[in-house]
Amino acid sequence: MENRFDIENYIIVKLTEGGDYLNVLKLHKLLYYVQAWSLAYGRGPLFAGKFQAWVHGPVNRELFDRFRDSKYMYSAVTAADVPSDFDPASVSDESRQLIDAVLEVYGPLTGDQLEEMTHQEAPWITARDGLPPSARSEVELDEKLMATFYGQRLKQ
């Protein structure tokens, strides 16, 4: 299992080096899709940490806490937010391949587009369980449902 903080930093470095815009909202969604596709491929969780069914889609509480005092959901995330001693090689080759594949598909999308996508998908909808659109929720998304939902997409 990988270190979640290293996965976050890898995503930040990879996107910002490529000149892509990244904000906190988008980072949450990309981290979510990395975990979801790891589950779908039968690898199990890529990192320890759950996602909660927040208003803006799946949110990892630890990632939220990382930026809680310095940024809000639409604040830019840049290479300056990554520790200077971060080494992308701290993430295994196999995990980097998975992350790169997820970033190739989801990276060009905005945070708002990714949020809208998650709002149409069973893991977030099920965790929200009919709550009003603006209601707070800390219900965790079911990783088994994530594995099944995205695993079915692999078969299509």
What's the confidence (pLDDT) of residue 156? Answer: 81
User: Which H or E element spans position 40?
Assistant: helix 24-40
Domain count, the chain: 1
Q: Bridge-partner residues for 58, per DSSP?
A: 53
Asked if residue 154 is part of any domain, the answer here is: no
What's the confidence (pLDDT) of residue 136? Answer: 95
Asked if residue 156 is part of any domain, the answer here is: no
Per-residue pLDDT tens over the stretch 53-73 = 999 999 999 999 999 999 999
Residue ranges for the chain with pLDDT beneath 70 = none
Asked if residue 138 is part of any domain, the answer here is: yes
Please write down the long-range contacts of 93-97, taking CB distance under 8 Å and 24 or more positions apart: 95/2, 95/7, 95/46, 96/10
Asked if residue 126 is part of any domain, the answer here is: yes
Asked if residue 117 is part of any domain, the answer here is: yes
What's the confidence (pLDDT) of residue 130? Answer: 85
Asked if residue 155 is part of any domain, the answer here is: no
Q: What range defines the domain where residue 38 resides?
A: 4-149
Neighbouring residues of 54: CB distance < 8 A, sequence distance ≥ 6: 136, 137, 138
Asked if residue 135 is part of any domain, the answer here is: yes
